[in-house]
Structure 1
Amino acid sequence: MRALQPLLHDVMICVAAPAFAASPRDGQLRGASADGFYDHDRRLLHTLCLLIDGREPEPIGVRALGPDRVRFTSVHRYPSDRTDDPTLIVERVRTAGDGETVSLRNVGTVTRSLHLQLSFATDLADIADVKQGLTGRALPPSVEDADDDGGPALTWRSATGLARVHAAEYAAEPVVAEGSHGGTFTWSRVTLRPGCSWRIRLAVTGCAVPAPPGHPIAASPRVPWSEPLIRGDRRLIGLVRRGLADLRALRLADGSRSEDGQRGSADDQFIAAGCPWYLTLFGRDSIWSARMLLPLGTELARGTLWTLARRQGTVHHKAREEAPGRILHELRPTASRHGHGLRLPSRYYGSVDATPLFVSLLVDAWRWGLPDADVDALLPYAERAMQWIVATSDADEDGLLRYFPSPGGLVHQSWKDSADAVRDAAGRRIEPPLALCEVQGYAYEAATGLADLLVSRKETQQAQTLRDWARGLRARFTDAFWIDTADGPALRYVAIAVGRDLAPVSGPASNMGQLLSTGILDRDGCADVAAWLASPELNSGWGLRSRSAAVPGFNPLSYHGGSVWTHDTAIAVQGLCATGRHTEAAALADGLLEAAVHFSYRMPELYGGDARTDTSPAPLAYPAACRPQGWSAASGVAVLAALLGLRPDTPRRTLRLRPLAPSLLGALSASGLRLAGADLSVRVDVSGRTTVTGLPDGWGLDVEGVDVG
């Protein structure tokens, strides 16, 4: 029987990238599912069980103390007691990247004599195996006696990993024992008088073996964005606040050196894709997180761009799907088998969208005020990326940016990358080679944006060449992607993709929402797409469905066949606001914000696409969804910027504002934004009057639709 991917809906995850811990709600790690302490994709410990007098404590509560810590509370009861009240309280505080503290407190009136045992075991498994539901053979540990550097310890070694748990602080030294399947710390007699406590702190450490060269490292304590103060919709405030806290825990940094000598540092920060499955550098995901956070400064974008630039493709390599100019998709400590025939090398370039998104991140960062020295240094990498885009498109018989996956690699190479991500209106799987609609939009946006940047550098001829190419792509897109329909909110929609011979893939999907901000659609096209995004087929009431609910094969809990993706909805809100479709934007934003309430503002990677009604239950997270997840956590800032209508233009030194009318979602203000190094505040009051303070010297405002204070 095939092993199944572990479900995460009831798992407590604490993260301090590159480390995390995944725990059941009672705190006992039993070696099942995804249980364990992890670091750099390696499971260091999968069993950590506490027994008191031979029994497990009874759980009564669990609470996250921050993104990196969680507290489990249990009680230990005695049948002989004359009271039903618990008298022995057990608290375990688990901290990602550190270990665990176990505390016992006697709140009764009787002295207790306790027998305590902590059991430990591990398989030192790779996260890819854990994701497939595989548990390896438990490894035998070795015992280390207490010394000047710390208490007694257990150590596990394998060909691929090393793990160690030691008693860092303790009231009494344990007896340590080893076995073929694990080890124990035991205290045969712990006397605990009324009102007294007992405590031990366990340090859990380890690493992959050998240490992966050039792999991301822990970020410096300094966070590369500002902390905004928001007033307005309480749901938006909660979403931004919780999202930024999670993003702090998902930060990684680049300590590598590229072939041309560029060295990273702990301040070259980026956002890991998500925990637990993708706690590493993912080109597409890290780029989107950085784009969404640009209103809070350009430093994260800078770190993300340099991290990816140092790994930009330089040669043609079939297994890695590397090509000169191509931007990395995924970085792992080692090659991994992911099931279903998927085997990826540690450095893998198999995405069609990361490369144009890299170019657009540099352009957007330039518009938000990235210093000229960084723009000029990164520009050659963007030009090489654009050369890959143009060459790949020109080599296609239809002149589109299409992907041709290699055997063993990802079948679909966009953000919808599951094996059944592309289906037609009849529910049939459509196989590559495919040209996806949003990817053509990304390529168009990259070309036109880079052309603007080149004009600012007096490279007018190269800029004109790019604009001519983009104009041709837009014409080809318009001819190939629109599908006429007799039913629906508009008489046409954009196909999710076109295959060979320009055959469009039928069936409305959310992908078209990501086109709105790219410029590839004309005014009428934006209106038609907006109508579809607002329709009940795609708008679940909790956010944007990945696939229409009106077509066969719709599944509200399918990874890409009907679920709602947080970032996808936020990008659609951005596009709707940017193209003046404020009513549709407000409807989608309201659904996303209402869903956020039910998830305690920690938005999962994706969640169920069931319709929201007056009596419907709260939305359900996809059972194996990452949470926290990078672009989901960043989506609150993206929605904030969209509702305020912020569109900066550094070369013209102008801030364009098109805020949402307060009649739609209420008054809104934000201070602590960052523009060209200056602190910016924007306020839209209940009457629609807009006040902007803190504009950089020499900057002006371009505001429509509201009064300006």
Structure 2
Amino acid sequence: MRALQPLLHDVVICVAAPAFAASPRDGQLRGLRAEGFYGHDRRLLHTACLLVDGREPEPIGVQPLGPGQVRFTSVHRYPHDRTNDPTVIIERVRTAGAGESLLLRNVGTVARRLHVELALATDLADIADVKRGLTGTTVRSTAVLDPPGLDWRSRAGRAHVRVTESGPAPEVTDGPEGGTLTWPRVLLRPGESRQIRLTVSGGTVPDPPGHPRAPASPPPWSEPVVHGDRRLSALVRRGLADLRALRLADPEGTARDGVEDQFIAAGCPWYLTLFGRDSIWSARMLLPLGTDLARGTLWALARRQGSAHDVFREEAPGRILHELRPAEADHGNGLRLPSHYYGSVDATPLFVTLLVEAWHWGLPDADVDALLPYAERGMQWVEETTNRDEDGLLRYYPRPGGLRHQSWKDSEDAVRDAAGRRIEPPLALCEVQGYAYQAAVGLAGLMASHGRQQEAQRLTSWAQALRKRFADTFWLPSPDGPASRYVAIAVGRGLEPVSGPASNMGQLLSTGILDESGCRDVAAWLAAPELNSGWGLRSRSALLRGFNPLSYHGGSVWTHDTAIAVQGLCAAGCAAEASALAEGLLEAAAHFDYRMPELYGGDSRGEGSPAPLAYPAACRPQGWSAASGVAVLSALLGLAPDVSRRVLHIRPTPFGPLRVEGLRLAGREFSVGVGVAGSDAPVVVRGLPPDWTVDSTGA
């Protein structure tokens, strides 16, 4: 029988990348499912089970203390007491990347002598095996006496647990099934407490060279203050807190003036590492808060840009990395990926666009000039890949044993037609053509600013040719739909469009590949109930055969996908449609306590409908979901800088008054107010760099 991926809906996760801890709500780690302490994709501890007087404490509450720490509270009661009140309280604070502390408090009126026992064990499993639902063989533990604790070691990993508090040392017992720390006589008089601190450390054997590590410097973005919609303010605030915990630093990128190159890991628990596409989107979404995150992301990927042809890694010169892991891993169902894997069709054009947009937001000229050759090599890979295709489209050609679908919808059944049939690659996805067009046009503008007019003109001509091929190929008629046509999710062999409306077309709106009429048609579809669930944008139309509100890509709502659609709708001037999607996303956020999951159910929202449910195995926190609040905020403000003219264009979408402090342009913080009461102007901007002006005509 095939093992099933562990569900995460009731798992408490605290994260401080590259470490995290996943716990059930009572705090007891029993070696089940995804439970445990982790570091660098290795499970360091899967069992940490506490017994007091031979019994498990009774859980009464769990409280997150921030993205990286959580407190579990339980009680220990005595059947022969004459009161029902608990008299021994146990607080267990678990910290990602560090360990945990246990505080035993006697709040009763009589002294207690406790027998405290902590059973510890691990399988040192790779995160890929945990994700597949596999539990490895328990690794033999070895007792250590100074300081007291336990060690585990296998060919793949190692782990250490140490008792670090002062006081009587525990008795340490080791063995093939794990080990035990025992405090046989803990005396607590009334009002007294005893604290036990444990450190948990370890990792992969051997240490992966050049692998990302925890950052040593503060987050590379400003901290905005949002006044107006309280939901939007909470979404931005909670998202940035989670992004702080998801930061990683490139150890190969700290030489330039000691500045770390930081980026955002894709998500916890499954993707706590550098992912080209995901890390790029997170950096793009945070550009209104500064360009330092974009710079770090670009450099981390530039250093690992493809330089040779390698079939197993799917590497090619100029291609941008898809995924970085400490070691090669078996992901099941024939999917085996190397530590450096390049199997994505979209990361490369997105890399180019990130550089262009960071340039417009004020990335220093020295970084722009140094990164430009990497962007040119990336664009060359895009062009060469389209030349490989007789239709001139950007397709993906996966190798056997690699990812079958290589854009953001990358599950096995990610691309299906209106009848629910799976469509196999090679495929040209609609949004990928938009990415390629946007990258070419943006890079042409950057080259023109460097006086390279001939190369800029060649890229512009190439982009216009792709735009025409797209217009001739991707539209499908729909006489009974909200608009008379829609964009096919993909084009298969022989230029056959894949039927059935899907959310992918929403990501085209901000790329420029659609004309004004095309934007209006796409907007109509995104606003229609079959795609707009009321909580956000469904990944697949609810009217299609095979729609499943809890399918990974076949009907669920993705936070980032909805935010990108809002960005595009705002840019296209489709205010009503943008406001409707944004409103749904914010209503959903309130039900998730503003920590947006990777994806959630695509059931319809109506009066009295139940709250949306997270996809059971969704990452939370997740990078581009956490960054989506800033993306929506920037979209509703209508921020669009043009560095070549030193003009900040502002076209706000009517959504109610907003005032935002702590935005950043060209290294300087500024504020924007739109529709603020008591102001004669529709837009008020303060603090722009001295050589910049504001264009809010039409606001």
Q: Which TM-score band applies after superposition, normalised by the shorter structure? A: over 0.9
- Aligned-partner Cα distance in 2 for 1:679–1:187: 55
Superposed CA offset, 1:6-50 (max 9, x none): 000000000000000000000000000100000000000000010
- Aligned-partner Cα distance in 2 for 1:696–1:215: 37
- Aligned-partner Cα distance in 1 for 2:587–2:364: 38
Using the TM superposition, give the Cα deviation of residue 488 of structure 1 relative to its aligned residue in structure 2, in angstroms.
Answer: 1.1
- Aligned-partner Cα distance in 2 for 1:705–1:476: 33
Q: Please state if 1:135 is matched with 2:135.
A: yes
- Aligned-partner Cα distance in 2 for 1:386–1:193: 71
Using the TM superposition, give the Cα deviation of residue 575 of structure 1 relative to its aligned residue in structure 2, in angstroms.
Answer: 0.2
2:320 aligned residue (316, 327, 332): 327
2:79 alignment partner AA: P
Asked if structure 2 preserves the Cα contact closer than 8 Å seen for 1:219 and 1:266, the reply is: no
What corresponds to 1:593 in structure 2?
A: 586
Using the TM superposition, give the Cα deviation of residue 277 of structure 1 relative to its aligned residue in structure 2, in angstroms.
Answer: 0.1
Q: Please state if 1:276 is matched with 2:299.
A: no
Superposed CA offset, 1:104-158 (max 9, x none): 1000111111111000000000000000000001111111112xxxx20100000
Q: Please state if 1:83 is matched with 2:83.
A: yes
Asked if structure 2 preserves the Cα contact closer than 8 Å seen for 1:253 and 1:265, the reply is: no
3-state SS, counterpart of residue 71 of structure 1: strand
Using the TM superposition, give the Cα deviation of residue 222 of structure 1 relative to its aligned residue in structure 2, in angstroms.
Answer: 1.3
Using the TM superposition, give the Cα deviation of residue 266 of structure 1 relative to its aligned residue in structure 2, in angstroms.
Answer: 6.7
- Aligned-partner Cα distance in 2 for 1:703–1:691: 9
Using the TM superposition, give the Cα deviation of residue 695 of structure 1 relative to its aligned residue in structure 2, in angstroms.
Answer: 1.2
**Which sits farther off after the overlay, 211-220 or 419-428?**
211-220
- Aligned-partner Cα distance in 2 for 1:337–1:690: 54
Q: Please state if 1:43 is matched with 2:48.
A: no
2:139 alignment partner AA: L
1:171 alignment partner AA: G
2:434 aligned residue (438, 441, 452): 441
2:207 aligned residue (194, 204, 211): 211
Q: Please state if 1:670 is matched with 2:660.
A: yes
Superposed CA offset, 1:647-698 (max 9, x none): 001111000000012xxx3100101000011111000125672100111112
3-state SS, counterpart of residue 179 of structure 1: coil
Q: Please state if 1:357 is matched with 2:347.
A: no
- Aligned-partner Cα distance in 1 for 2:256–2:98: 28
- Aligned-partner Cα distance in 2 for 1:474–1:265: 43
2:242 aligned residue (242, 246, 249): 246
2:157 alignment partner AA: G
2:192 aligned residue (196, 205, 227): 196
- Aligned-partner Cα distance in 1 for 2:658–2:557: 26
- Aligned-partner Cα distance in 1 for 2:289–2:184: 55
Asked if structure 2 preserves the Cα contact closer than 8 Å seen for 1:254 and 1:264, the reply is: no
- Aligned-partner Cα distance in 2 for 1:652–1:408: 48
- Aligned-partner Cα distance in 2 for 1:462–1:218: 40
What corresponds to 2:151 in structure 1?
A: 155
- Aligned-partner Cα distance in 1 for 2:341–2:166: 45
Asked if structure 2 preserves the Cα contact closer than 8 Å seen for 1:171 and 1:199, the reply is: no
- Aligned-partner Cα distance in 2 for 1:588–1:700: 31
Using the TM superposition, give the Cα deviation of residue 487 of structure 1 relative to its aligned residue in structure 2, in angstroms.
Answer: 1.3
Q: Report 1:260-275 matches (<5 A).
A: 267-275=260-268
Q: Report 1:4-403 matches (<5 A).
A: 4-146=4-146, 151-256=147-252, 267-403=260-396
Q: TM-score normalised to the size of structure 1?
A: 0.97
- Aligned-partner Cα distance in 1 for 2:65–2:117: 26
Q: Please state if 1:702 is matched with 2:695.
A: yes
- Aligned-partner Cα distance in 2 for 1:70–1:666: 36
- Aligned-partner Cα distance in 2 for 1:697–1:122: 58
Which residues of structure 2 form unaligned runs of 5+? none
What corresponds to 1:513 in structure 2?
A: 506
1:671 alignment partner AA: E
- Aligned-partner Cα distance in 1 for 2:217–2:465: 47
What corresponds to 1:483 in structure 2?
A: 476
Using the TM superposition, give the Cα deviation of residue 170 of structure 1 relative to its aligned residue in structure 2, in angstroms.
Answer: 3.9
1:680 alignment partner AA: F
Using the TM superposition, give the Cα deviation of residue 3 of structure 1 relative to its aligned residue in structure 2, in angstroms.
Answer: 0.7
3-state SS, counterpart of residue 240 of structure 2: helix
Using the TM superposition, give the Cα deviation of residue 262 of structure 1 relative to its aligned residue in structure 2, in angstroms.
Answer: 8.5
- Aligned-partner Cα distance in 1 for 2:445–2:156: 48
- Aligned-partner Cα distance in 2 for 1:602–1:316: 40
Number of equivalences: 696
2:667 alignment partner AA: G
- Aligned-partner Cα distance in 2 for 1:192–1:677: 56
3-state SS, counterpart of residue 416 of structure 2: coil
- Aligned-partner Cα distance in 1 for 2:174–2:116: 16
- Aligned-partner Cα distance in 1 for 2:694–2:98: 48
- Aligned-partner Cα distance in 2 for 1:264–1:678: 20
2:61 alignment partner AA: G
**Which sits farther off after the overlay, 305-314 or 212-221?**
212-221
- Aligned-partner Cα distance in 2 for 1:114–1:416: 53
Using the TM superposition, give the Cα deviation of residue 265 of structure 1 relative to its aligned residue in structure 2, in angstroms.
Answer: 6.7
- Aligned-partner Cα distance in 1 for 2:217–2:241: 13
- Aligned-partner Cα distance in 1 for 2:629–2:519: 23
CA 1:470/1:301 → structure 2, altered by over 3 Å: closer, same or farther? same
- Aligned-partner Cα distance in 1 for 2:499–2:565: 20
What corresponds to 1:617 in structure 2?
A: 610
Asked if structure 1 preserves the Cα contact closer than 8 Å seen for 2:659 and 2:676, the reply is: no
Q: CA RMSD in A?
A: 1.1
Using the TM superposition, give the Cα deviation of residue 349 of structure 1 relative to its aligned residue in structure 2, in angstroms.
Answer: 0.1
- Aligned-partner Cα distance in 2 for 1:361–1:264: 23
- Aligned-partner Cα distance in 2 for 1:164–1:92: 19
Using the TM superposition, give the Cα deviation of residue 704 of structure 1 relative to its aligned residue in structure 2, in angstroms.
Answer: 2.7
Q: Report 1:530-541 matches (<5 A).
A: 530-541=523-534
1:210 alignment partner AA: P
Asked if structure 2 preserves the Cα contact closer than 8 Å seen for 1:539 and 1:588, the reply is: yes
* Identical-residue share of aligned pairs (%): 73
Which residues of structure 1 form unaligned runs of 5+? none
2:691 alignment partner AA: G
2:106 alignment partner AA: N
- Aligned-partner Cα distance in 1 for 2:112–2:61: 23
- Aligned-partner Cα distance in 1 for 2:126–2:184: 35
Asked if structure 2 preserves the Cα contact closer than 8 Å seen for 1:262 and 1:310, the reply is: no
**Which sits farther off after the overlay, 163-172 or 117-126?**
163-172
- Aligned-partner Cα distance in 1 for 2:391–2:640: 33
Superposed CA offset, 1:176-217 (max 9, x none): 001110000001111111100011000000010000011111
- Aligned-partner Cα distance in 1 for 2:687–2:506: 33
Asked if structure 1 preserves the Cα contact closer than 8 Å seen for 2:39 and 2:203, the reply is: yes
Using the TM superposition, give the Cα deviation of residue 5 of structure 1 relative to its aligned residue in structure 2, in angstroms.
Answer: 0.3
